[in-house]
Amino acid sequence: MYGIIHTELRNYVVSKLGEAGWASLVSEAGMELKAYFPSETYPDQEIRTIVSAAAKRAGVSEQDILRDFGFFLAPTLLTVYKPLVKPEWRTLDLIENTEQTIHKVVRRKDPGALPPELKVARMSKGEVIITYTSRRRMCSVAKGIAAGVAAHYGETVDITELECMHNGDGQCRISVKLVS
């Protein structure tokens, strides 16, 4: 997985628990502390292990942690990929164009990064349906990112899961409707 996810997961945990909390969470996860670099690639299992430990510690589901992490991650992604985002875009426009802009560049720069595949259908001016596929099955991060992007634009969205790989479906289908 692309290192920006690892570095931002560390930043997320530090924002919730502090530096000492990060160190103890990594220890609880049975891992060694190490530095992560945004442009490097790291094993997917490290994310899963840390998220699992965080969920256990917080008494919530891993999907809850991943959704909250996605929300936290959105501002960083918007900063990093700002040159690819058209100034006139808003939440649904950005979601609709992520695959052709941001993911295209990520795949070209690092074929090992493997971001999820997003097929987005514009249902109306105020709704998109995201079809999310990834062997990582981190659709909750995508839901959190969508909510974080909306917050960035001062908009509110209703996010509804229509299908989910975690429920045995072959893909995730997520409705994102603009509320305001």
Same domain (yes/no): 34, 116: no
- As given in the structure block, the two tokens for residue 57 are 């510690």
Query: 118 lies in which domain range?
Result: 67-178
Same domain (yes/no): 101, 45: no
Residue that has been written with the tokens 């720069």 in this structure = 109
Q: Taking a C-beta distance cutoff of 8 angstroms, is the pair 54, 28 a contact?
A: no
- Give the number of domains in the chain: 2
Tell me, what's the pLDDT at 140?
Answer: 97
For 40, counting Cβ atoms within 10 Å of its Cβ (0-12 exposed, 13-18 middle, 19+ buried), the class is middle
Of residues 110 and 22, more confidently modeled: 22
Residue 59: how many CA atoms within 13 Å on its side-chain side? 0
User: What digits encode the pLDDT tens for the residues 31-42?
Assistant: 999 999 887 888
- Please state the rounded mean pLDDT for residues 65-82: 96
Q: Is 110 left (phi over 0), alpha (psi -120 to 50) or beta?
A: beta
- As given in the structure block, the two tokens for residue 167 are 């429920």
Is the pLDDT assigned to residue 2 strictly greater than 90? no
Same domain (yes/no): 36, 98: no
CATH of the domain at 74: 3.90.1520.10
User: What digits encode the pLDDT tens for the residues 79-138?
Assistant: 999 999 999 999 999 999 998 888 888 777 777 677 888 999 999 999 999 999 998 999
Same domain (yes/no): 167, 100: yes
Rounded Cα distance between 94 and 88, Å, is 10
Rounded Cα distance between 7 and 39, Å, is 10
Same domain (yes/no): 77, 30: no
CA 45, chain centre distance (Å):
16
